[in-house]
């Protein structure tokens, strides 16, 4: 992936806000004009419910996800991959943007399997193949993704080849797979609220998990929070904002974002115990910045998180870590311990993610 595509913004448009998303479309076109690579994932739950009602099919939800039998699945595919997807694509293109509508079936982008049988043909994402997304963004298109995908793993006999996926889950999985810079959820609420109904503007992953465990965060907010937590494995920032507000998306890209921001907590170097004299000798060849980055890495922080805090590019962090490895000989690296974590045992070094 090119450096341009390493700064992808994944945007999830909530189905409940699709009827009032005029400024969101304008914001998407403006962000594309600014040269920002975007992936848009959309829902369409309200419209699906309307069409199911017309067909005399009732809707039922479990943990914020629609229970999907065969008749429901047929409506879901038709509404999401057809009507909703093409309406969004047409709205963007008619305003001067460049968008292409796809679903998780196209390019085998979303491979999944049936998750909880109580939910019917609702998919659990097994793998995201990002090739089609990268190709479209490299050609300066915005992929507009409908959350249906392949029933590609452990498919039971007579089960359909396509599954319904929660759009929040798909957005989180895409953000994680592509290493997005930011994941933004546009919803019909102000953000995540505490038990008294007050907006929580900033949360750590631990705080977010506690809100779910206590039941304060419930219903449709659960898959959104879980998607944010999933994305934080490789995404610097996740946001849940009120998409009904004018130009909410553009504001979310600035420093005065409303809603709730969930960010991974970066361990600061001063939290790490001082090295002994022997260890200081081992690390003597390192500059103060390299020692700082080494401490961050050894504490389990990702390159993206370190780059965000130090306000440099990920490539700069990778270059520094490369310099560290060159300066420390093999024996020193094998025995070097920072706060009880062996440098070579750190997953970001061992797995070549530097």
Average pLDDT over residues 48-67: 87
**Could you tell me if 218 and 290 lie in one domain?**
no
Run of H or E residues at 338: strand 337-338
Are 44 and 154 spatial neighbours (Cβ–Cβ below 8 Å)? no
**Could you tell me if 60 and 131 lie in one domain?**
yes
Average pLDDT over residues 1-14: 77
**Could you tell me if 141 and 284 lie in one domain?**
no
CA angle 102/105/107 to nearest 5° reads: 80
Q: Which residues pair with 260 in a beta bridge?
A: 240
Within the chain, where are the H helices?
Answer: 22-33, 45-54, 70-77, 85-94, 131-138, 167-178, 205-214, 221-231, 248-252, 277-282, 288-298, 303-310, 314-327, 330-335, 347-350
**Could you tell me if 258 and 279 lie in one domain?**
no
CATH number of the domain within which 105 lies: 3.40.1160.10
**Could you tell me if 16 and 95 lie in one domain?**
yes
| Boundaries of domain holding 101 | 4-263
pLDDT (tens digit per residue) in 198-257 = 999 999 888 999 999 999 998 889 999 999 999 987 777 899 999 888 899 999 987 667
The share of the chain scoring above pLDDT 70, in percent, equals: 79
Residue 267 has pLDDT above 60, yes or no: no
Length of the chain: 354
| Contacting residues for 76 by C-beta, under 8 A, at least 6 apart | 48, 66, 68, 148, 164
Within 232-287, where are the H helices?
Answer: 248-252, 277-282
Residue 322 has pLDDT above 90, yes or no: no
Biggest CA pair distance of the chain: 76
Q: Which residues pair with 308 in a beta bridge?
A: none
**Could you tell me if 208 and 318 lie in one domain?**
no
Residue 323 exposed, middle or buried by CB count within 10 Å (0-12, 13-18, 19+) = middle
**Could you tell me if 127 and 192 lie in one domain?**
yes
**How many CB atoms are closer than 10 A to CB 330?**
9
pLDDT given for residue 31 in this prediction: 96
Q: Which of 214, 246, 263 is the last residue of a domain?
A: 263
**Could you tell me if 251 and 291 lie in one domain?**
no
Number of domains in the chain: 2
Sign of torsion over alpha carbons 144, 146, 150, 153: positive
CATH number of the domain within which 308 lies: 1.10.10.10
Q: Which of 263, 290, 315 is the last residue of a domain?
A: 263
3-state secondary structure of 61: strand
Chain centre to alpha carbon of residue 349:
23
**How many CB atoms are closer than 10 A to CB 180?**
29
Radius of gyration of the chain (CA): 22
Of the ranges 7-16, 55-64, 201-210, which is most confident?
201-210
**Could you tell me if 163 and 233 lie in one domain?**
yes
Q: What's the DSSP call for residue 251?
A: H
Q: Which of 263, 278, 308 is the last residue of a domain?
A: 263
Structure tokens at 209: 């998990």
**Could you tell me if 114 and 248 lie in one domain?**
yes
Run of H or E residues at 241: strand 237-242
Cα–Cα distance, 43 to 152 (Å, whole number): 22
Burial 40-52 (b: 16+ CB within 10 A, else e): bbbbbbbbbbebb
Q: How far apart are the first and last CA of the chain?
A: 15
Burial 199-212 (b: 16+ CB within 10 A, else e): ebeebebeebeebb
**Could you tell me if 251 and 282 lie in one domain?**
no
The share of the chain scoring above pLDDT 90, in percent, equals: 53
Phi and psi, residue 164, nearest 5°:
-90, 130
pLDDT band at 291 (very low <50, low <70, confident <90, very high): confident
**Could you tell me if 39 and 171 lie in one domain?**
yes
């Amino acid at each position: 992936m090119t450096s341009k595509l390493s700064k992808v913004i994944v945007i999830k448009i909530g189905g409940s806000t699709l009827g009032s998303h005029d400024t969101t479309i304008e914001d998407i076109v403006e962000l594309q004009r600014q040269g920002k690579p975007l992936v848009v994932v959309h829902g369409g739950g309200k419209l699906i419910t309307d069409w199911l009602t017309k067909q005399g099919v009732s809707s039922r939800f479990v943990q914020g996800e629609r229970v999907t039998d065969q008749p429901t699945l047929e409506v879901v595919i038709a509404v999401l991959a057809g009507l909703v997807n093409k309406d969004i694509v047409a709205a963007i293109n008619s305003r001067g943007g460049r968008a292409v509508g796809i679903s998780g079936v196209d390019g085998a982008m979303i491979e999944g399997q049936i998750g909880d049988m109580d939910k019917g043909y609702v998919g659990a994402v097994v793998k995201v193949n990002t090739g089609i997304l990268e190709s479209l963004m490299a050609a300066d298109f915005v992929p507009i993704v409908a959350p249906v995908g392949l029933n590609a793993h452990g498919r039971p006999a007579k089960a359909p080849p396509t599954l319904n996926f929660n759009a929040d889950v798909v957005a989180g999985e895409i953000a994680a797979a592509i290493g997005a810079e930011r994941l933004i959820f546009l919803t019909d609420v102000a953000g995540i609220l505490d038990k008294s109904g007050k907006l929580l503007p900033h949360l750590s992953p631990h705080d977010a998990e506690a809100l779910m465990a206590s039941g304060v965060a419930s219903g449709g907010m659960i898959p959104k929070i879980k998607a944010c937590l999933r994305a934080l494995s490789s995404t610097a920032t996740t946001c849940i904002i009120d998409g009904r507000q004018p130009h909410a998306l553009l504001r979310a890209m600035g420093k005065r974002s409303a809603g709730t921001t969930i960010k991974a907590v970066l361990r600061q170097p001063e939290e790490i115990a001082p090295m002994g004299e022997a260890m200081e000798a081992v690390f003597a060849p390192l500059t103060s910045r390299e020692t700082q980055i080494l401490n961050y890495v050894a504490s389990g922080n990702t390159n993206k998180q370190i780059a965000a805090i130090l306000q440099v590019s990920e490539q700069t962090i990778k270059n520094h870590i490369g310099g560290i490895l060159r300066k420390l000989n093999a024996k020193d690296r094998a025995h070097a311990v920072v706060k009880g974590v062996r440098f070579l045992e750190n997953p970001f070094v061992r797995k070549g993610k530097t």
